[in-house]
């Protein structure tokens, strides 16, 4: 009202422009003047004119209205992916290819949305989701144990079968599909020195304790030992594209190792933001592309 009245020079005209009567405007202005303790308009015989105080009030009022408009614009930008930020988390193997591919495609499509990725194991990501520190997580879990997770909104992306990497010269290499039992006598290299901590727990369920002579957390180191023919190791299929060309991968028999599934996860009760809604399809797309490139191995 302040603005319209100031622009038009009378309560009557200002009110008309806003669909109010002169009496409503008169009272509104009066009330504002009372609240501010000063006259905002000089009442002249043919209309009104801003006082010095009125000019000051008008400047600030227009600035305030502009901020409210800016809020609307900002929110529209967020919803249209013309702005915003996506904080996501992923377990390490997912960052070999799945998450980077999806992120690259998303950034090309929506360059104004900034994307941050935190690496961590699934249980940590779940905590970050629940505290609101990340908006979206790529996690992994055995399909029949999903129920053990805290309540989350999950979406299945792909399955991640475990491959085995025997040395080139190994008699079992190039067989294509191996049973885990056939590897009971092999020497292993793994993340930890007991089978329980690693993927090798599958061996325990199969009835033997693998012999772990070498321990290395770094993937590069493991590959070195494998390529030198010193040990064999297990490789999640998600990481298969990062394996050295002189290492051959073979599938494990499906019954031998429970297949881990990969999911996107968001916190329950938290409405998915536009950036989350927008990012998930790129993860789905990247997962599909990876399945196609390695036909017959990682499957849904």
Among 2, 15, 173, 212, binds DNA (CB under 7 A): 15
Give CA–CA dist 100/109, Å, rounded. 14
Among 7, 27, 85, 155, binds its own copies (CB under 8 A): 85
22 binds, among its own copies, DNA, none (CB under 5 to 8 A by kind): DNA
Phi, psi torsion values for 16, nearest 5 degrees: -55, -40
Q: x/- contact string, 5-44, with its own copies (CB under 8 A)?
A: -------------------------------xxxx--xxx
15 binds, among DNA, its own copies, none (CB under 5 to 8 A by kind): DNA
Q: Please state the closest distance from residue 95 (CB atom) to its own copies, in A.
A: 24
Interface with its own copies, residue 270, by CB under 8 A: yes
How many chain residues interact with its own copies (CB under 8 A)? 38
Dihedral sign of CA atoms 170, 172, 178, 184 in order = negative
Interface with its own copies, residue 112, by CB under 8 A: no
Q: Please state the closest distance from residue 24 (CB atom) to DNA, in A.
A: 3
- Listed in sequence order, the residues at least 6 apart from 157 whose beta carbon sits closer than 8 Å to its beta carbon are 98, 138, 261, 262, 263, 264, 283, 284, 287
Q: Using the 8-state DSSP alphabet, how is residue 272 labeled?
A: P
CB 136 within 8 A of CB 282: no
79 binds, among its own copies, DNA, none (CB under 5 to 8 A by kind): its own copies
CB 93 within 8 A of CB 239: yes
Phi, psi torsion values for 174, nearest 5 degrees: 65, 5
Q: Using the 8-state DSSP alphabet, how is residue 177 labeled?
A: E
Interface with DNA, residue 20, by CB under 7 A: yes
Helix intervals (H) in 133-268: 201-206, 219-227
Stretch that binds DNA, among 7-15, 67-75, 138-146, 245-253 (CB under 7 A): 7-15
Interface with DNA, residue 51, by CB under 7 A: no
Among 3, 4, 17, 26, binds DNA (CB under 7 A): 26
Among 48, 86, 203, 234, binds DNA (CB under 7 A): 48
**E strands present in 62-179:** 85-90, 114-119, 136-141, 153-160, 162-165, 177-178
Among 16, 22, 51, 187, binds its own copies (CB under 8 A): 51
How many chain residues interact with DNA (CB under 7 A)? 24
Among 3, 4, 13, 105, binds DNA (CB under 7 A): 13
36 binds, among its own copies, DNA, none (CB under 5 to 8 A by kind): its own copies
The residues facing 180 across adjacent strands are none
Give CA–CA dist 258/224, Å, rounded. 27
The footprint of DNA (CB under 7 A) covers 10-13, 15, 19-24, 26-31, 43, 45-48, 151, 268
């Amino acid at each position: 009202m302040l603005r319209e009245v100031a622009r038009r020079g009378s309560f009557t005209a200002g009110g008309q422009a806003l669909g109010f009567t002169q009496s409503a405007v008169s009272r509104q202005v009066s009330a504002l003047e009372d609240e501010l303790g000063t006259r905002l308009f000089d009442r002249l015989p043919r209309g009104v004119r801003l006082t010095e105080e009125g000019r000051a009030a008008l400047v600030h009022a227009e600035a305030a209205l502009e901020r409210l408009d800016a809020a609307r614009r900002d929110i529209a930008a967020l919803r249209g992916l013309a702005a915003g930020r996506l904080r996501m988390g992923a377990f390490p193997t997912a960052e070999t290819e799945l998450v980077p591919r999806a992120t690259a495609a998303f950034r090309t499509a929506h360059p104004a949305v900034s994307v941050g990725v935190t690496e961590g194991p699934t249980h940590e990501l779940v905590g970050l989701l629940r505290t609101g520190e990340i908006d979206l997580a790529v996690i992994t879990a055995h399909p029949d144990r999903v129920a053990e997770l805290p309540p989350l909104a999950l979406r299945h992306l792909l399955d991640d079968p475990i491959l085995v990497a025997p040395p080139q010269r190994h008699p079992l290499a190039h067989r294509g599909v191996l049973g885990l039992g056939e590897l009971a006598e092999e020497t292993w290299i793994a993340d930890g020195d007991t089978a329980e901590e690693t993927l090798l727990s599958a061996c325990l369920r199969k009835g033997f304790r693998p012999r772990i002579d070498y321990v290395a957390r770094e993937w590069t180191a493991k590959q070195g030992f494998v390529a030198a023919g010193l040990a064999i190791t297990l490789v999640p299929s998600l990481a298969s594209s990062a394996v050295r060309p002189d290492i051959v991968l073979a599938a494990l028999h499906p019954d031998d190792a429970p297949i881990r599934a990969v999911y996107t996860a968001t916190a329950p009760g938290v409405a998915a933001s536009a950036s989350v809604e927008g990012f998930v399809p790129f993860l789905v797309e990247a997962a599909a592309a990876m399945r196609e490139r390695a036909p017959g191995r990682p499957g849904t």
